[in-house]
Structure 1
């Protein structure tokens, strides 16, 4: 794996405006932000005066709650397929540079971060945090920053080289309250429609000809009639996949400006549009697996790999699973188009790591965060994870044809709105309420109740 800096000819990410504004949404304290979904991440509490003022000055100068430790406990939700492989590849690189640090791996699986919140929040509030934990930057950080539960790492981790290399608005998302508190390691795209080439050809469907979300419904109907495959490899066990699908239907029908209005809270002004996206989502759910309520996203994705399903709407972590599948080649066996109606949009979600206060291993945690923000870590992690790096100086040699195309799409995109389903675009209390709305919708397909729930959540 090469770690040289790329030349200008290799195509660096431009330092252009990356994320559309996440909205001026009110945030809440830890007590009101438990998240109880289930899927690729899940779970709250409150205490009194255990939090400091967020300055990181607890008398030790390093935010430590005790003696430095060589054990590094990491809580994350990467337990599926290529996600786990990508995480382990990053850890391998860290171990090579830090052989004296023992990693205590503590996964909290559950789709879209649905299980991790309760696990982490309870421990942080109790003054017994892990060394670091996975979290989305942006609005998802605010319950912790509001209570002073994350250290300012602007000097200890974010040196001048790192600040210069990162995309500007990724830096902004890492400092929602002013201080830099997170280290992003990737950028995922959500508005992907992946497909099994053989299955769609059998149905005589060309995904590049599907112009809008309504057209996708017609394609699903045709696939159902012409093949034995499941048209849409979608899971409803956990609400996040349907919430993610709904926001992309809305983006495909109404565009980024109206989507931003939703993030800003104007649901009532867009009632007809919100209802239209819900109605179409309900129609889509006629074409999902019979066991959609008991499978995970990656199990649904396996069916696409095996030729038992035609298409899946998913973040580009799904491609990490394809890359790990034997004999399943990009362009020949699988491909992807932007979700119909979203050409020119790079609907984004980012993962990051943080430095909790009362840290049990401040020295090891600082070393890990420094590594996570490095070229080496992001070059190891992202090609396997199915994401592009937030640093602008990571060579793309190891990223393959699909991610290179995503990289180009990102550079050429007109807008990069943040996501609702993955918490970067809305406050955690709103995110939690919306997951409850879509958990119910998965069961009853009640558009009226879902609309009222979305309105009330904002």
Structure 2
């Protein structure tokens, strides 16, 4: 197991962050125009600390602009996306908003709601500093639409070491069968819910990890391009493996967000939790250091990535301020400041890694040498409507256990939403 016992972040004090900042355009002295509403779902823990670090950089680099936080709490932006979509439809956009890089932006692009940032990528020094695979994924219709600030790894299992040690589990499982055997061992030793799990998108994360193990990275990625069929026997076998693992999770999973599931891990009521590597910063913020992590069993060198990024709405009230926020996000210094707090790694390969934890340094190495695999649960592999359909199908399966219905629903979603090329 890879040790992650190092404090990743200290949560910045909860002072109001209405700080003078900006791009130095000097074009508009109007007090309303100088306010920059930055819409995110980073409301607490390591996520909030990372946002605060960006605000500090923004204050320095963008004199004349005033940061206005527009955070809507909820894991993976499940609540924020609903609010954002309503505002965009009502022509009331924030000046910039957080989004997962990749296919999650398709509807916004098709609706003409966000600006083409291709020329800015060149002027802000992003050309040649982002991995080719990342650029390929976030390019739509030959253009670039969001600025990635940090990369997270989704396919990571986190442990409560004391819980595992009491059952004599001292090494990380390498296969799905070995993982399931360890889950069973914990249950026999009195841990009723060995795997801590939350609702909808966290269940999709688990299914995706199982699919990567059973299909391999290439065929898994093909599920979202049409190259791999959801109706296949291989997918059904993966769903059956998923069901075996789901049986070891907490019965109240459909009512919990990921921090609630994390509490089961911290309190010793679970031995494992599958969650992206932002969990490390949150565990440290909760003063819990008795954890380790490992790549989901059977995933091998697959690095299932998601990238936090920011887009610029076409109808923003203060486009200059929004643009300056994106320029701060794009800078090597901004990416270092953000990621050292949030527990992710810079999207830029030339950003400093000063202050990074052992885990972050190792993840940065894996990002360069591993096999990049996108995530539907976090918007890099599929559009938001597709993600919503998959979440609904998994929610139904969580209650019914009907594997045939789940596979049919996932296949139907793919037929509806897959976009060739």
2:340 equivalent to 1:383: yes
Q: Is the 8 A contact 2:219 2:228 kept in 1?
A: no
2:105 equivalent to 1:149: no
Worse overlay, 347-356 or 289-298: 289-298
**Structure 2 CA distance, aligned partners of 1:118 and 1:364?**
24
Worse overlay, 162-171 or 398-407: 162-171
**Structure 2 CA distance, aligned partners of 1:269 and 1:150?**
32
Partner SS state of residue 161, structure 1: coil
2:103 equivalent to 1:139: yes
**Structure 2 CA distance, aligned partners of 1:99 and 1:269?**
51
Q: Calculate the aligned-residue CA RMSD, in Å.
A: 2.2
2:350 equivalent to 1:393: yes
Worse overlay, 97-106 or 261-270: 261-270
More strand by share: 2
In the TM superposition, residue 270 of structure 1 has moved relative to its aligned partner by 5.2
Change (3 A) 1:86 1:160: closer
In the TM superposition, residue 269 of structure 1 has moved relative to its aligned partner by 6.6
Worse overlay, 390-399 or 113-122: 113-122
2:140 equivalent to 1:176: yes
**Structure 2 CA distance, aligned partners of 1:405 and 1:131?**
35
Partner SS state of residue 50, structure 2: helix
Partner SS state of residue 372, structure 2: coil
Mapping for residues 61-76 of structure 1, pairs under 5 Å: 69-76=33-40
2:253 equivalent to 1:292: yes
2:269 equivalent to 1:313: no
Match of 1:342 in 2: 299
2:56 equivalent to 1:92: yes
Partner SS state of residue 198, structure 2: coil
Match of 1:6 in 2: none
For 1:316-348, what per-residue CA distance to the aligned partner results, in whole angstroms no more than 9, with x for missing partners?
A: 11111123233x33xxx2111110001211011
**Structure 2 CA distance, aligned partners of 1:269 and 1:400?**
39
Change (3 A) 1:168 1:269: closer
Match of 1:42 in 2: none
For 1:242-290, what per-residue CA distance to the aligned partner results, in whole angstroms no more than 9, with x for missing partners?
A: 1110011011122112212312235647522222222222222222234
Q: Is the 8 A contact 2:39 2:71 kept in 1?
A: yes
Partner SS state of residue 263, structure 1: coil
Q: Is the 8 A contact 1:267 1:454 kept in 2?
A: no
Partner SS state of residue 139, structure 2: coil
In the TM superposition, residue 314 of structure 1 has moved relative to its aligned partner by 0.8
**Structure 1 CA distance, aligned partners of 2:350 and 2:230?**
42
- What is the aligned counterpart of 1:240 among 183, 189, 201? 201
Q: What TM-score results when the alignment is normalised by the length of structure 2?
A: 0.86
Match of 1:47 in 2: none
Partner SS state of residue 309, structure 1: coil
- What is the aligned counterpart of 1:404 among 347, 358, 361? 361
2:279 equivalent to 1:322: no
In the TM superposition, residue 227 of structure 1 has moved relative to its aligned partner by 4.4
Partner SS state of residue 152, structure 1: coil
2:173 equivalent to 1:217: no
Q: Is the 8 A contact 2:36 2:321 kept in 1?
A: yes
Partner SS state of residue 357, structure 1: coil
In the TM superposition, residue 216 of structure 1 has moved relative to its aligned partner by 1.2
- What is the aligned counterpart of 1:448 among 388, 404, 415? 404
**Structure 2 CA distance, aligned partners of 1:97 and 1:127?**
29
Worse overlay, 68-77 or 371-380: 68-77
Q: Is the 8 A contact 1:207 1:337 kept in 2?
A: no
Match of 1:185 in 2: 149
- What is the aligned counterpart of 1:429 among 376, 385, 389? 385
Q: Is the 8 A contact 2:203 2:394 kept in 1?
A: yes
**Structure 1 CA distance, aligned partners of 2:285 and 2:122?**
33
Partner SS state of residue 37, structure 2: strand
Q: What TM-score results when the alignment is normalised by the length of structure 1?
A: 0.79
Provide runs of 4+ in structure 1 moved above 6 Å: none
For 1:48-95, what per-residue CA distance to the aligned partner results, in whole angstroms no more than 9, with x for missing partners?
A: xxxxxxxxxxxxxxxx9x997111112211224221222222222212
Mapping for residues 152-167 of structure 1, pairs under 5 Å: 152-156=116-120, 158-159=122-123, 161-167=125-131
